[in-house]
Structure 1
């Protein structure tokens, strides 16, 4: 992972960076460790509590607060507000759609080309040797899995449900991790040693993803990450990273199709690696379906 601070427009004042450079050298080693961590992991810090920053820096939450105050901030909330102003406002889904449809200018052919070209670029990237090697690593883990857990929230939650069905059909037990809050906690409790985690996540180090990774790490569960943000914190924690371009450049709408393509590649790789189990499972599903069909309309 590249731990260099994210570069922003020169017209935007980097208040934290200025204070860190001016005062960081005079801090005690422990306070300096916290201040350096914040400087190098700004997007992560936006999602963290003082206790989570303390855990990452092997200090205490009181030390975290002292470090922040030593740089002239009132506290963590003041620091986060400063960071948010520096990052600038995030682009909403509505804004991305507006930017996309305005660029396409009500032209059906340009809409078709936008999607086709996005998928073509993604397929070319997935076919690169580095991604092929990562997929081979992922398939080797998945073939030996007791159960495959598929993490995806937001729009990816739909993909999670669908891919669970695909794995189940080929005889590989699978479970979705696609909720938030308490409902995600209830899904996570089903994880066990011997499972393998497939994670769909991008740049934002959201708490659902962080909690899932921590639980996977606690249980010794390897993580396969599908992402366009190969420099994210999630990428640093994963055992296998597959780069999946989704478009979305210049504020445009990202495509979810490339992620589905990658997931189907993984499912078929597992199916072809264990053909006897796959065929046996599919035949059993067919037999059950026939049984349901025969008794379906009869009244008891």
Structure 2
């Protein structure tokens, strides 16, 4: 596995970096500012339009296009395609699983230790003062929420469903935002002012996450981010960041249970801030359970 990663790294050519170093000194100050921004924010640029890059560099979209062309690219699309090739494909889930199980050598005890150590480390980090303070801020926001939207795609989509259910049981309506592509739009339309958003996201600035953040900003919805990539683009655009280690180093499988631990900490804390609301909701659920049971018995 490591040989595979090394081979990929060696075969990648940093075309943008080479052109930037070669042609950058000859650019005007404004063009150089744009080129430097692109070089320092490559992942962000992949998701940005020329207008957004212009806003970030305090220039115009025409200046952005001229800077890109001055480095030898046909335009922004050509630049993005070149950068995507440089980043290369990420490590697939199959590769991560292969790396993990091979390292464990079919040993049940080593598998148990792998998971236990991962969760133990996560719990230690979650209990650190900065995370406790972040959770306190998150709970204060959630306690006043009209509704909670929980964003998570991929494996986190299941956690979004579960967390939404727990919030609803505790008296705060929870809405999962866990679809991909255009189907996410049908879920985002449910967000309104007065809501609070919880995001589960890592470093990849995918379109679903960026679109969800933009909609939250448009509505003035505060966002709480659960991530281990505390320096990602997402972390720079939210109100609260909680550091949740998931493992996954050296190509190993990440542990999603650590995120679940954090979610349950938050949800129980929110419930404890308004116990009467929580108890009232749970009693009503019990009444509905009994009504459903009685109606089912009559039909039988």
Equivalent residue number for residue 113 of structure 1? 113
SS in 2 for 1:241: strand
Q: Distance in 2 between matches of 1:176 and 1:28?
A: 48
For residues 122-201 of structure 1, what are the structure 2 equivalents within 5 Å?
Answer: 122-201=122-201
The range that moved more, 231-240 or 179-188, is 179-188
Q: Distance in 1 between matches of 2:29 and 2:186?
A: 40
Per-residue CA distance 1:80-122 (angstroms, 9 max, x = gap) = 3432343343211111011011111111111111111111111
The range that moved more, 246-255 or 175-184, is 175-184
Equivalent residue number for residue 80 of structure 1? 80
Equivalent residue number for residue 202 of structure 2? 202
Q: Distance in 1 between matches of 2:71 and 2:29?
A: 14
TM-aligned CA deviation for residue 54 of structure 1: 4.3
TM-aligned CA deviation for residue 50 of structure 1: 4.0
Q: Give me the TM-score of the superposition, normalised by structure 1.
A: 0.90
SS in 2 for 1:181: coil
Q: Distance in 2 between matches of 1:55 and 1:173?
A: 37
Per-residue CA distance 1:34-68 (angstroms, 9 max, x = gap) = 32221111122234444554454455544433221
Per-residue CA distance 1:159-207 (angstroms, 9 max, x = gap) = 1011000000000111111112222112111211111000000000011
Checking the alignment, whether the CA contact within 8 Å between 1:168 and 1:174 is kept in structure 2 is: yes
Q: Distance in 2 between matches of 1:254 and 1:282?
A: 34
Q: Give me the TM-score of the superposition, normalised by structure 2.
A: 0.90
TM-aligned CA deviation for residue 252 of structure 1: 0.5
TM-aligned CA deviation for residue 10 of structure 1: 8.7
Q: Distance in 2 between matches of 1:134 and 1:150?
A: 17
SS in 1 for 2:162: helix
Equivalent residue number for residue 5 of structure 1? none
Equivalent residue number for residue 240 of structure 1? 240
Q: Distance in 2 between matches of 1:165 and 1:56?
A: 39
SS in 2 for 1:185: helix
**Which runs of 5 or more residues in structure 1 are unaligned?**
1-7
Equivalent residue number for residue 70 of structure 1? 70
**Which runs of 5 or more residues in structure 2 are unaligned?**
1-7
Q: How many residues were matched structurally?
A: 293
Q: Distance in 1 between matches of 2:208 and 2:293?
A: 41
Q: Distance in 1 between matches of 2:93 and 2:47?
A: 20
Q: Distance in 1 between matches of 2:263 and 2:282?
A: 19
Checking the alignment, whether the CA contact within 8 Å between 1:44 and 1:204 is kept in structure 2 is: no
SS in 1 for 2:145: coil
TM-aligned CA deviation for residue 9 of structure 1: 6.6
